[in-house]
């Protein structure tokens, strides 16, 4: 796979368009057949290979347009042409200004480097199907020679090569602009040029030093423009991906209100991914033990030849999940995302009942049936939150409500810090629940080092649970749900 296609694949992945290795190889074969000349045909063909849903098609269209149809003219060439026009013979080399213009006009980025690492994202003109890797070969001559000769073609090729060498396509944040600009110039030979400027000044050649310094400034501006175009091309998807990666690991109690919308979308995507994974596993039928009796019966019409096989199917009941959440101030933020996660997976977890408490406990399942998670969760926190936490009272209420309905298909999930303000946590009720249920999972948002300190009752609670885990981030919450699906 060539470098431009690899960078385009990465761009799609950052934009939440999953591209498998096989699909990337199919895309490479498509480009090999079609080339880059017919942009409309290429877009249509690649979309059939790489986009699988309506949402992915929208993202693909945006990424393709951004990646392949940015202005094809290089700022570097135009700046050199304008600012060095009055240099006379000092700008002369083997190439005249007119020849350089012709050469640069032929340097169409879709064909010479559609990756964007040379000009910020590729070009949109029609051109030949030249391999992108061929046109980005390193030019002959040093940076000093190319600056003195105003060699636009050589400088352009050198910039492309340097940008690839320093990994410009990996730029994510605007604060990295200066860093990448400096790295590209150093890769091109900045140290040698700076040394030459110093030598000329030491030899009292102030005019020569000033001339070279001015040319270097033109190159600096052009390089910075290239970096900014590449940042504009990739930053939206990458910075969003980077932000999501940070939010997955940050403590849920530290999430700011402005990030709730992003977090909700992340939860939905995680839930969909886990749902799809679990559904695919359940669809695999033709494996296990062959049912001889039913197979023979089905093939009577074929004189006993086994054209149709029948496999013994083990019916797997959907698990029942009872989620009990402490919605007091210290735990409410985690409860919000646990409930959102569970109710976003109703395709594989349809039997979820939820309860909330701080002082008294009550069932909130009907709130989700009536309003949906977006409105039900704040409503539940409003009704049951804001009181002094009492785990003992909550256990008693829970036992009165559903104890008789718990059986060996029931998974009970408690979310709470175990701090009962000095009240008896009624670990005996929890022990009875464990005896009846398939599993009892306790999720605590506090780190283990503080369990048992102050009014924490975790030393009494933990022995009466099947699983006890620290759960204070979205990534840990995802692991808990993944484990729940595996063992259900």
Same domain, yes or no: 339 and 466 = yes
Residue 122 pLDDT grade (very low, low, confident, very high; cuts 50, 70, 90): very low
**Residue 149: per-residue pLDDT:** 86
137: in domain = yes
Residue range 137-153, pLDDT digits in tens: 445 678 998 888 888 88
pLDDT in tens, 366-378: 998 888 788 888 8
Mean pLDDT over residues 182-207, rounded? 92
Last residue of some domain: 53, 68, 83? 68
Which of 68, 87, 115 finishes a domain? 68
What CATH number did the domain enclosing 362 receive?
Answer: 3.40.50.410
Asked if 14 and 97 sit in the same domain, the reply is no
Top-confidence residue, 69 or 78:
69
45 and 90 in a common domain = no
Same domain for 44 and 90: no
Is 299 a member of any domain? no
The pTM of the whole model exceeds 0.75: no
Q: Does residue 351 share a domain with residue 437? A: yes
Domain-located, residue 180: yes
Tell me: do 147 and 89 sit in the same domain. yes
Is the pLDDT confidence value at 380 over 60? yes
> Are 98 and 181 within one domain?
yes
State the pLDDT at residue 173.
77
Per-residue pLDDT tens digits for 268-277: 888 888 877 7
pLDDT of residue 450: 92
Residue 292 lies in a domain: no
- Of 89-93, 206-210, 408-412, the one with minimum mean pLDDT is 89-93
88 and 231 belong to one structural domain: yes
310 inside domain: no
Tell me the pLDDT tens digit for each residue of 198-245: 999 999 999 999 999 999 998 998 898 888 877 777 666 666 777 778
Structural domain harbouring 401: 266-284+317-487
Provide the number of structural domains found in the chain: 3
Is residue 294 domain-resident?
no
Ranges 303-312, 321-330, 431-440: which has the least confidence? 303-312
Look at residue 95 and tell me if it is in a domain. yes
> Are 366 and 444 within one domain?
yes
Q: Is the residue at 326 inside a domain?
A: yes
Looking at the structure, tell me whether residues 429 and 346 fall in a common domain. yes
Q: 280 and 404: one domain?
A: yes
- HEC per residue, the chain: CCHHHHHHHHHHHHCCCCCCHHHHHHHHHHHHHHCCCCHHHHHHHHHHHHCCCHHHHHHHHHHHHHHHCCCCCCHHHHHHHHHCHHHHHHHCCCCCHHHHHHHHHHCCHHHHCCCCCCCCCCCCCCCCCCCCCHHHCCCCCCHHHHHHCCCHHHHHHHHHHHHHHHCHHHCCCHHHHHHHHHHHHHHHCHHHHHHHHHHHHHCCCHHHHHHHHHHHHHHHHHHHHHHHHHHHHHHHHHHHHHHHHHHHHCCHHHCCHHHHHHHHHHHHHHHHHHHHHHHHHHHCCCCCCECHHHHHHHCHHHCCCCCCCCECCCCCCCCEEEEEEECCCCCHHHHHHHHHHHHCCCCCCCEEEEEEECCCEEECHHHHHHHCHHHHHHHHHHHHCCCCCCHHHHHHHHHHHHHHHCCCCEEEEEECCCECCCCCCCHHHHHHHHHHCCEEEEEECCCHHHCCCCCECHHHHHHHCCEEEECCCHHHHHHHHHHHHHHC
If asked whether residues 221 and 276 sit together in one domain, one would say no
**Least confident stretch, 184-188, 213-217, 293-297:** 293-297
């Amino acid at each position: 796979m060539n470098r431009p296609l690899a960078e385009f694949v990465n761009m799609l992945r950052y934009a939440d368009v999953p591209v498998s290795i096989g699909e990337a190889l199919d895309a490479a074969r498509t480009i090999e057949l079609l080339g880059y000349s017919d942009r409309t045909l290429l877009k249509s063909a690649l979309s059939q290979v790489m986009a699988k849903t309506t949402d992915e098609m929208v993202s693909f269209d945006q990424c393709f347009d951004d990646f392949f149809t940015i202005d094809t003219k290089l700022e570097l060439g135009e700046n050199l042409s304008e600012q060095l026009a009055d240099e006379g013979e000092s700008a002369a080399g083997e190439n005249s200004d007119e020849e350089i213009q012709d050469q640069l006009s032929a340097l169409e980025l879709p064909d010479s480097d559609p990756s964007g690492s040379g000009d910020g994202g590729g070009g949109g003109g029609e051109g030949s199907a030249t391999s992108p890797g061929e046109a980005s070969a390193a030019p002959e001559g040093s940076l000093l020679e190319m600056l003195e000769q105003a060699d636009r073609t050589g400088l352009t090729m050198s910039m492309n090569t340097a940008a690839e060498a320093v990994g410009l396509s990996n730029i994510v944040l605007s604060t990295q602009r200066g860093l990448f600009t400096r790295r590209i110039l150093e890769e091109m030979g900045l140290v040698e040029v700076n040394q030459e400027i110093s030598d000329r000044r030491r030899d009292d050649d102030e005019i020569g030093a000033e001339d070279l310094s001015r040319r270097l400034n033109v190159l600096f501006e052009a390089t910075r423009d290239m970096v900014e175009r590449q940042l504009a091309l990739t930053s939206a998807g990458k910075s969003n991906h980077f932000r999501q990666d940070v939010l997955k690991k940050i403590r849920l109690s530290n999430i700011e209100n402005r990030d709730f919308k992003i977090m909700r979308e992340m939860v939905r995507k995680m839930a969909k991914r886990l749902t799809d994974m679990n559904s695919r596993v359940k669809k695999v039928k033709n494996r296990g033990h062959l049912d001889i009796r039913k197979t023979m019966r089905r093939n009577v019409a074929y004189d006993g030849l086994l054209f149709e096989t029948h496999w013994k199917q083990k019916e797997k009941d959907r698990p029942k999940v009872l989620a009990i959440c402490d919605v007091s101030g210290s735990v409410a933020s985690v409860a919000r995302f646990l409930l959102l996660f569970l109710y976003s997976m109703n395709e594989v977890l349809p039997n979820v009942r939820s309860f909330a408490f701080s002082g008294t406990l009550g069932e909130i399942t009907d709130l989700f049936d009536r309003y949906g998670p977006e409105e039900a969760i704040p409503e539940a926190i409003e009704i049951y939150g804001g009181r002094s936490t009492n785990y003992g009272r909550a256990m008693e209420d829970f036992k009165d409500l559903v104890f008789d309905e718990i059986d060996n298909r029931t998974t009970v999930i408690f979310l709470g810090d175990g701090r009962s303000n000095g009240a008896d946590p009624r670990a005996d009720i929890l022990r009875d629940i464990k005896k009846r249920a398939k599993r009892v999972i306790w999720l605590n948002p506090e780190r283990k080092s503080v369990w048992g300190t102050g009014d924490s009752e975790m030393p009494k609670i933990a022995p009466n649970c099947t699983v006890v885990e620290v759960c204070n981030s979205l990534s840990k919450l995802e692991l808990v749900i993944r484990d729940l699906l595996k063992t259900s």
